[in-house]
A = this chain, B = another copy of it.
Amino acid sequence: MVRKRQILVIGNNTNGCTPKHEKIAYDIGSEIAKSDSVLISGGLGGVMEASSHGAHDANGFTVGIIPQDDASFANEFCDVVIPTGMGLTRDYLNALSADGVIIVGGGSGTLSEACASYMHKKPMVAIKNLGSSVDPYIDGYIDHRKNIKIIGVDTAQEAVKKILELITA
């Protein structure tokens, strides 16, 4: 078995991504690389690009699963690109590819990925206080089934530390 842990980072695309989001995402990417895990993302801009950039600068390995059918739409920090040609439906593939998920802000797309991850019982942590559509569910459950709690954390370092604990548990 050669497969490393695969950690999915989700959050705002270019639209809605502030320098604060980018900084945290970059640091999360860096920590993921240092933990010798593979970073999975949606392969586009904003949090996806910043986290891939951080992983790349720390000699990590990154995969971008993109909506388009052509790899050239991915950001430049993806080592491997999976062009799905499925539009936003690819959000579900992101969730399925994750051993654990880190949420950095984000709107409706991020919330849909969190739902998909929840349905498939993937461990999730979320950075608090970033104005995310996931906020109503941080430190709680998305529904009555109580599949998995989304754990709120404050920093990039905490996020990666916590998700590694949850994956290992």
Contact = CB atoms under 8 A, between A and B. Distances in A.
Interface of A: 1-4, 6, 15-16, 38, 56, 61, 63, 65, 69, 71, 74, 76-89, 91-93, 96-97, 99, 106-109, 111-112, 115-116, 118-120, 131, 133, 136, 142-145, 147
A119 B108 contact: yes
Contact of A83 (B2, B56, B96, B118): B96
Highest count of chain B CB atoms <10 Å: which of A91, A92, A109: A92
Contacts of A144: 16, 107, 131
Contact of A2 (B16, B77, B92, B112): B77
A73 to B, nearest CB: 12
